[in-house]
């Protein structure tokens, strides 16, 4: 992250384009915000939970 100042963005971009070692270091950096797959995992968990609830409902006849 370099901020929003145009001159800083340009300088850091040039540095990455001109310095292969710095580029590789940046390319392997760990994303502090996760891997971008949180929504996919949440949907999977909700689908599994819904399937489990449906399976329990199907296995127990309604009382009446």
Going from N- to C-terminal start, the domains of the chain cover 6-59
Rounded to the nearest 10 degrees, the angle between the axes of helix 6-18 and helix 20-27 is: 110
**Three-class secondary structure of residue 50 per DSSP:** helix
Confidence of residue 64 (pLDDT cuts 50, 70, 90): low
| pTM: predicted TM-score of the whole model, two decimal places | 0.48
CA nearest 25: which of 36, 34, 16? 16
Residues 6+ apart with CB under 8 A from 30: none
Distance in angstroms (rounded) separating the CA atoms of residues 27 and 16:
10
- pLDDT for 63 equals 63
- pLDDT for 22 equals 96
- Segment 3-62, tens digit of pLDDT: 999 999 999 999 999 999 999 999 998 888 899 999 999 999 999 999 999 988 888 776
């Amino acid at each position: 992250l370099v901020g929003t100042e145009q001159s800083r963005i340009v300088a850091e971009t040039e540095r990455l384009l001109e310095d292969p070692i710095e580029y590789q270091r940046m390319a392997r950096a760990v994303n502090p915000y996760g891997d971008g797959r949180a929504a996919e995992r949440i949907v999977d968990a909700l689908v599994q939970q819904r399937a489990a609830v449906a399976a329990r409902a199907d296995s127990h006849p309604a009382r009446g």
